[in-house]
Structure formats: structure tokens, C-alpha cells
């Protein structure tokens, strides 16, 4: 049987353009069919993006709120000592009564660093500038601070008296047989104690720092830590009441915390070289003990 198809025609009577597609052509055709799906998938992804961004923004905002919340909780940490000092170990709370609590600073900036916390409800949450406007309250705080300074001085003598040349003379007199009628005074350790407040406190509850002058501590880590105790940012409690025009009332304006470093003992200038200052403080500490 002879085919009626013309030369070049398909044996099935189809024109070449209508002939069945090859396997490769079939895959190509399938890809073309999938393109709308890919576009739809991409479109769908793009429509979800704002939602994802919103979730990320919400999570970021939540993290910021948590960080801020933790920061404010940290600023209120002294409140627990004021409220219930008996719940803390004796190693943390040195003593307390109805009016005051004395605690060890958890992040000491010197080898001996104590905080005195007034417990009067109407004063304990005030800025020291405001709280010390009350003359009677100020006198009460100053008297308790001097009491705590004596306790701190005795502890300082216990810690470092064996290194001190001045105390060595007193110790030899104590051990003499017979002892002298009048003992040498020995080192005045109370003069080695600083007592005061920060012009801009880092904690919400009123507290007075009672610390040794050495600034020898692993917790003293940066410019603010050092300058907050080495410039007029730190105000001696006995300087109160402050005059209305006292420049220390405006610590930010005076730029105390941004000042270049200066050794508390010898006065040597260090510019902004904190690491060098720390190394120098180590040397000064060893010399300070020997006085």
C-alpha cells in the first residue's frame, strides 16, 4: 500500500510543526509550564517578607525591652539589701540596723569597697543632692559614714599593716618588753579611705561609697570606672551641703568622666592610655602598701 503523504510530510498526515515533540523538547515544555509556578512561589515569598520583617522587628523590640528591663532591674539591685538585709550572707552584709545597711560592693573598684545604704523610705530613692538637702538626715549619714570609715580602716590595717613601715614601728613597740609608755601612732589608715557619692549615681537607691584609695581591682575596667573615683565626679560626703553654684552639680557639663587619666597617687598623666595606667596602678599599689 502506497502512502498518500507528500514528500517531507509525516507518515501520520501531520505537518512537521505538528509532529510529536522529542524528549528534550518535552522537558523544555515542562519547564515552560513550571515558570508560572516559580513566579508564583517567588511572589508568595515576597508577600511573606514584610511579615518576616515585622516578626524580626517585634523580636528585636522585645529583646531591647528585655535588655532595658534587666538594666533597670540592675539599677534597683540595692533595694533588696535595704528591704531584707538578713536574707544575705554575712560576707555580703557587714552590719545593719533600722537606719542603715553596710554591704560589700559586688564589683569593687579598690581592694576594699563598701557601700552604706540609708533605709529611710522617703530618702532611699532620692538623688544624693536632693536627699542631703535635709540637714538632720545629712548629719545622720555623715556620722554613720565616719563610723563605717573607722571599721574600714581597721580592716585595711589587718590586710596591709604587715607591709607598712609605719605600722612595723608600732608593732615592734607593742612587742617590746617592757612596752613603751606611749605607743607610736602607726599608719593613719583612716586617711587611706575615701567616703563619698557620685554626682550621677549608677544605682537608683541612695548609697555612699567607703573605699580604699588604691583603685587596685580587676573590676576597674575602663575610663568611667577610674574617673568616677579620680575626678570631682566623686564628692566627699563631708563636702555637703553643696553651694547652689557648685560646678560639681553639673558633672556632664564639666566632662569629668571624659578627662584624661591621671594617677591618683603621683599625679602622672596618661592621656587616654588605660592599659598603661593599669600597669602603673599595679606598681603604685605595691609602693602604697609599704608606706
For the annotated catalytic residues, the residue numbers are 207
Q: Give every CB contact of residue 98 below 8 A, 6+ residues apart in sequence.
A: 119
Cα 145 from Cα 177, distance rounded (Å): 38
Comparing CA positions, the residue from 261, 257, 203 lying closest to residue 232 is 257
The gap from C-alpha 272 to its chain's centroid, in whole angstroms, comes to 20
Q: How many of the other CB atoms lie within 10 Å of CB of 98?
A: 6
Vertex 198 angle, CA 195 and 202, to 5°: 125
Question: How many angstroms separate the Cα of 207 from the Cα of each of 4, 78, 197, 282?
Answer: 111, 9, 7, 28
Asked if 241 and 130 count as a contact pair (C-beta separation under 8 A), the reply is: no
Cα 116 from Cα 93, distance rounded (Å): 10
Query: Do β-strands 93-96 and 100-104 pair in parallel, antiparallel, or remain unpaired?
Result: antiparallel
Cα 23 from Cα 272, distance rounded (Å): 75
Sign of CA dihedral 253, 211, 73, 71: positive
Exposed e or buried b per residue across 116-132, where buried means at least 16 C-beta atoms within 10 angstroms of its C-beta? bbbbbeebbebebbebb
Amino acid at each position: 500500500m502506497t502512502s498518500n503523504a507528500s514528500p517531507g510530510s509525516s507518515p501520520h498526515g501531520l505537518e512537521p510543526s505538528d509532529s510529536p515533540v522529542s524528549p528534550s523538547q518535552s522537558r523544555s515544555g515542562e519547564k515552560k509550564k513550571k515558570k508560572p509556578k516559580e513566579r508564583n512561589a517567588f511572589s508568595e515569598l515576597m508577600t511573606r517578607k514584610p511579615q518576616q520583617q515585622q516578626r524580626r522587628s517585634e523580636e528585636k523590640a522585645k529583646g531591647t525591652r528585655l535588655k532595658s528591663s534587666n538594666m533597670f532591674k540592675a539599677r534597683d539591685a540595692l533595694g533588696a539589701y535595704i528591704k531584707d538585709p538578713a536574707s544575705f550572707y554575712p560576707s555580703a552584709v557587714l552590719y545593719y540596723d533600722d537606719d542603715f545597711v553596710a554591704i560589700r560592693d559586688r564589683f569593687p573598684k579598690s581592694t576594699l569597697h563598701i557601700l552604706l545604704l540609708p533605709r529611710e523610705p522617703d530618702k532611699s530613692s532620692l538623688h544624693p543632692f536632693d536627699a542631703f538637702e535635709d540637714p538632720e538626715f545629712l548629719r545622720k549619714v555623715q556620722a554613720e559614714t565616719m563610723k563605717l570609715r573607722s571599721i574600714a580602716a581597721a580592716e585595711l590595717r589587718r590586710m596591709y599593716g604587715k607591709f607598712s613601715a609605719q605600722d612595723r614601728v608600732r608593732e615592734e613597740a607593742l612587742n617590746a618588753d617592757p612596752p613603751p609608755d606611749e605607743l607610736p601612732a602607726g599608719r593613719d589608715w583612716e586617711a587611706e579611705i575615701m567616703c563619698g557619692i557620685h554626682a550621677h549615681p549608677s544605682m537608683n537607691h541612695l548609697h555612699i561609697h567607703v573605699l580604699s584609695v588604691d583603685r587596685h581591682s580587676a573590676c576597674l575596667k575602663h575610663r568611667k570606672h577610674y574617673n568616677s573615683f579620680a575626678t570631682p565626679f566623686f564628692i566627699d560626703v563631708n563636702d555637703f551641703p553643696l553651694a547652689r553654684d557648685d560646678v560639681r552639680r553639673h558633672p556632664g557639663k564639666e566632662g569629668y568622666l571624659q578627662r584624661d587619666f591621671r594617677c591618683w597617687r603621683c599625679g602622672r598623666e596618661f592621656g587616654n592610655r588605660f592599659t598603661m595606667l593599669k600597669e602603673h596602678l599595679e606598681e603604685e599599689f605595691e609602693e602604697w602598701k609599704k608606706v
